Homo-oligomer: A and B are copies of this chain.
Amino acid sequence: MTSLSVSGHNNNPDDAQALQVVSQAQTARYTQRQLTGPQRTAALLAMAQALAVHQPAIMAANQQDLADPDVTNLPLATQNRLQLTPAKWQPVLDGLHQLAHMPDPVGQVLRQTLLDDGLTLQQQTLPLGVLLIIFEARPDVLPQVAGLALKSGNVLIAKGGTETTHTNRAILHCLQQALAPYCHPQWVQCVEGRAMVQALLAHHQGIDLVIPRGSNAMVQHIMAHTRIPVLGHADGVCHLYWHASAPLADSLAVVLDAKTQYPAACNALETLLIDATCAPVVLPQLAQAAAQAGITLTGCPQTQALLPQVALVTEWHQEYGDLTLAIKCVDTVQQAMAHIQAYGSHHTDGILAEDADTINAFLAGVDSASVFVNTSTRFADGFRYGLGAEVGISTSRTHARGPVGLQGLLTTRWVLTGQYQTVKPYACGAKSFLHKPLG
């Protein structure tokens, strides 16, 4: 029997509970994946309605969390992230309605081939199975991800931040009550405590995907401690390479947007690689614009020679998350690409240039999840890409990559429908395959 047990850990109460949670999720998954698209749509609408009706109880639970001395002692910005308000709640409800009315992602036919007369092969999408979401702060993540899991036919295990334990419990209670007529009672389960997360991360046979939402440190820790595929990114060290052929005013506007529009975002610009031939013209103007925008410039020795006030960069693999912009002078597009290869995180890297050969060399050499030509790195986002709902941004090379929509929560299977054909006549050459692509 396919075992979910993790050897040598079963004396720990968290391990025993994790095993139970995963077993329940596996049972629920089996029921959940048999729901039809219309059933999942109805369940999503019921979820949205219940979250609207129980909004007062959920807000009250959130107030209880916010009044805890452990929370009142946190920085104000953190407290704001923990707080649910009607202004934050309405987009969650709107998002669930939108999701309910999106096309059913499950059972889509990706490829169809007639192998031979009466022998038809389809590659179809289907739910991954069991998702584990681990999120910090922002309790509005839970209903959003529960909606995505439901739409895609998956079951969910969720671990929220301890600061909003009461809020998370209230939301979970609401979800379970509302969806009892539609789903298996364990289609969504919440767990608490770090030890529990550790125990769950060992269940690579029972959990199909981990989605971490939180600090770089948290994501890195999860990636380093599990064999379950992780959908996410530890850091976003994004670059723009400014070639001498790029127009000054337009390129400057893109650099400022990429750095300042939301500096804390993972797709914000960290390092500008500037063609040394145009640096003497560009950098003084950039310095002037940066000063007005509140940007702190840092750079390489060559940059310092042109902008003496600039501090020296000692570590290029850095995600500042603030208004710091590092500048490096490079002689060629090859040098720019080598820098991106060595110090980037394969999240989003772009070029600013009019010269076609240089653009083509950049596109041939840079294999980041998003590669941009003449536009701001801040466009790297599931909603901006038109993916509908965004599940996250992934920098892993397998499974989903870059901004990820519902497709990231799906796997595929091959369905072959025949008329009692056997392999033997094909193996001995008596019959041969047509392999005709269909529709």
Contacts and interface: CB of A to CB of B under 8 A. Distances in A.
Interface in A224-248: 227, 229, 247
Q: Could you say how many copies of this chain the assembly holds?
A: 2
Interface string A374-412: 111011100011100000000001110111000000011
Contact of A227 (B227, B369, B416, B423): B227
A386 B317 CA distance: 44
B365 A34 contact: yes
A264 to B, nearest CB: 14
Interface in A131-176: none
Interface stretch (A52-60, A77-85, A96-104, A250-258): A250-258
Given A115-B385, A365-B34, A398-B399, A253 B420 contact: yes
A373 interface: yes
Contact of A413 (B127, B402, B420): B402
Given A375-B416, A420-B250, A129 B316 contact: no
A296 interface: no
Q: Tell me what chain A mostly uses at the interface: helix, strand, loop, or mixed.
A: mixed
Contacts of A418: 372-375, 379
Contacts of A33: 364-365, 367
Nearest to A36: B364
10 tightest Cβ-Cβ pairs between the two chains A and B: A375-B418, A257-B422, A386-B435, A250-B420, A378-B423, A398-B399, A373-B417, A397-B411, A229-B398, A370-B414
Interface of A: 1-2, 30, 33-34, 113, 115, 119, 121, 126-129, 208-209, 227, 229, 247, 250-251, 253-254, 256-257, 261-262, 316-317, 337-338, 341-345, 352, 363-365, 367-376, 378-380, 384-386, 397-399, 401-403, 411-424, 426-427, 433, 435
